[in-house]
């Protein structure tokens, strides 16, 4: 066999092996934290599927020191993805945000692929945002906007509120406008819990939501510290909130120092489509 052909076969074989290597489960919050710059604190997180395979990418907003050891901070945005060749998670996008961030979001904005939306509130009250996605295998900013109002996702639409509301949809190379879509995000809900004799207690252990609805987990009363452990498929929003985009059943575990981890209190989230019973 000619050397050139043999080399090509070896390269293709190695690529096939890398492609078929098992993909690890979604990153836990602890694993994501380790990927942030030194001293960084997570602000919000969105899980997404940027390449049409299992949803392994993670979009993160974090608060980090301006430089190691500095007291002043900057707002940092990044997307981490699984590198099948090296079998590790790597950073495929990063940028500083101009001002106070809004929780990062993600949606099926690019046809069959997800994109992340990083937004910040500027000093004059307007929203500045960037849509980050993968086009032709390259991760980049595919759209930018600035509006006097909120920006939110109603898959597959990106909706801008403000003086002149706009409904945007991906047209293959860029976003174009569509007629107004009558859509109002579901209001967020709050689930409260407390401690009694060292055990977690709550009025209910199940909450029903619709896709994209945010659930805030809040503790009432004092006592020792507890740990909230969300399902790894959930997004994390600022203020102790969690969000899911797909129907299904999810869990949030609440552990206390007096109860073993395997006996932690389990809150079940039942997420149904808006028209489901």
Indicate the residue among 156, 178, 200 that finishes a domain: 178
Q: What is the pLDDT of residue 8?
A: 42
Which of helix, strand or coil describes residue 60? strand
Structural domain for 124, as ranges: 24-178
Question: Does residue 5 belong to any structural domain of this protein?
Answer: no
Let me know whether 60 and 168 are in one domain.
yes
7 in any annotated domain: no
Are 65 and 171 part of one and the same domain?
A: yes
Do 166 and 35 belong to one domain? yes
Cα separation, 152 vs 116, in Å, equals 11
Residue 64 counted as domain residue: yes
Q: Which pLDDT band holds residue 181 (cuts at 50, 70, 90)?
A: confident
SS3 assignment, position 238: coil
Spatial distance between the Cα atoms of 95 and 268, rounded to a whole number of angstroms:
35
Query: Which residues neighbour 60 within 8 Å (Cβ) at sequence distance 6 or greater?
Result: 32, 35, 36, 42, 43, 44, 45, 77, 78, 79, 80, 104
Residues 64 and 124 in one domain: yes
Q: CA-based angle 209:82:24, to the nearest 5?
A: 70
The whole-number pLDDT of residue 2 equals 61
Burial (CB count <10 Å: 0-12, 13-18, 19+), residue 76: buried
Are residues 134 and 31 located together in one domain of the fold? Answer: yes
Answer yes or no: do 37 and 173 share one domain: yes
- Whether 212 and 153 have beta carbons less than 8 Å apart is answered as yes
Q: Report pLDDT for 250.
A: 97
Same domain flag for 136 and 29: yes
With respect to residue 28, please indicate whether it lies within any of the assigned structural domains.
yes
Domain boundary among 145, 178, 211: 178
Indicate the range of 82-86, 222-226, 244-248 predicted with least confidence.
82-86
pLDDT band at residue 69 under the 50/70/90 scheme: confident
Asked if residue 134 lies in contact with residue 110, where contact means CB atoms within 8 angstroms, the answer is yes
Question: What pLDDT, on the 0 to 100 scale, is given for residue 1?
Answer: 52
Per-residue model confidence (pLDDT) at position 143: 97
- The most distant pair of C-alpha atoms in the chain lies apart, rounded to whole Å, by 76
Could you give phi then psi for residue 123, rounded to 5 degrees?
-55, -30
What's the per-residue H, E or C state across 10-24?
Answer: HHHHHHHHHHHCCCC
Residue 248's alpha-carbon distances to 78, 89, 93, 269, in angstroms, are 27, 26, 30, 8
Domain end point (choices 178, 201, 228): 178
Mean of pLDDT values over 31-41 = 91
Counting Cα atoms < 13 Å in the Cβ hemisphere of 132 gives 23
**Rounded average pLDDT over 69-97:** 88
**Residue 204 scores a pLDDT above 60:** yes
The answer on 149 and 29 residing in a single domain is: yes
| pLDDT category of residue 33 using cuts at 50, 70 and 90 | very high
What value does the mean pLDDT take over residues 131-147?
A: 93
pLDDT at 218 over 80: yes
CATH number, position 201 = 2.60.40.420
CA atoms within 13 A on the CB side of 169: 12
* pLDDT number for residue 183: 78
Q: What is the pLDDT of residue 52?
A: 67
- My answer on whether 163 and 234 are in the same domain is no
When pLDDT is cut at 50, 70 and 90, the band that residue 197 belongs to is confident
Q: Looking at the structure, do residues 173 and 248 belong to the same domain, yes or no?
A: no
Count of domains forming the chain: 2
Residue 13 belongs to a domain: no
In this prediction, what percent of the chain has a pLDDT beyond 90? 61
Residues 158 and 224 in one domain: no
Residues 161 and 38 in one domain: yes
State the Cα–Cα distance between residues 59 and 77, nearest whole angstrom: 7
Average pLDDT of the chain is 87
Tell me the pLDDT band of 73, cut-offs 50, 70 and 90.
Answer: very high
Residue 40 within any structural domain of the chain: yes
Q: How much of the chain exceeds pLDDT 70, in percent?
A: 88
pLDDT digit string (tens) for 5-19?
444 434 344 444 444
Whether the pLDDT of residue 54 is over 80: the answer is no
What sign for the dihedral angle of Cα 46, 28, 190, 273? Answer: positive
Residue 264 maps to a domain: yes
Flag whether 276 is in a domain: no
């Amino acid at each position: 066999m000619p050397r050139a052909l043999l080399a090509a076969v070896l390269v293709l074989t190695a690529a096939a092996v890398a492609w078929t290597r098992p993909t690890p489960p979604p990153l836990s919050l602890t694993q994501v934290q380790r990927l942030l710059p030194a001293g960084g604190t997570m602000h919000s997180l969105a899980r997404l599927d940027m390449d049409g395979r299992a949803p392994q990418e993670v979009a993160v907003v974090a608060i980090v020191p301006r430089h190691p050891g500095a007291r002043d901070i900057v707002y940092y945005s990044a997307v981490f993805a699984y590198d099948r060749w090296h079998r590790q998670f790597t950073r495929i996008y990063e940028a500083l945000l101009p001002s106070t961030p809004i929780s990062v979001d993600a949606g099926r904005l690019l046809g069959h692929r997800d994109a992340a939306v990083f937004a910040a509130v500027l000093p004059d009250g307007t929203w500045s945002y960037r849509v980050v996605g993968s086009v032709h295998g390259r991760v980049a900013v595919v759209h930018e906007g600035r509006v006097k109002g909120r920006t939110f996702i109603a898959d597959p639409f990106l909706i801008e509120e403000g003086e002149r509301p706009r409904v945007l949809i991906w047209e293959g190379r860029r976003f174009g406008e569509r007629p107004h879509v009558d859509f109002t995000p579901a209001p967020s809900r709050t689930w409260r819990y407390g401690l009694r004799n060292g055990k977690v207690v709550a009025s209910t252990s199940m909450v029903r939501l619709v896709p994209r609805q945010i659930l805030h987990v809040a503790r009432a009363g004092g006592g020792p510290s507890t740990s909230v452990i969300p399902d790894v498929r959930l997004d994390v929003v600022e203020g102790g909130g969690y969000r899911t985009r797909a129907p299904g059943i999810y869990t949030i575990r609440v552990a206390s120092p007096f109860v073993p981890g395997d006996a932690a209190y389990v809150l079940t989230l039942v997420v149904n489509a808006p028209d489901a019973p």
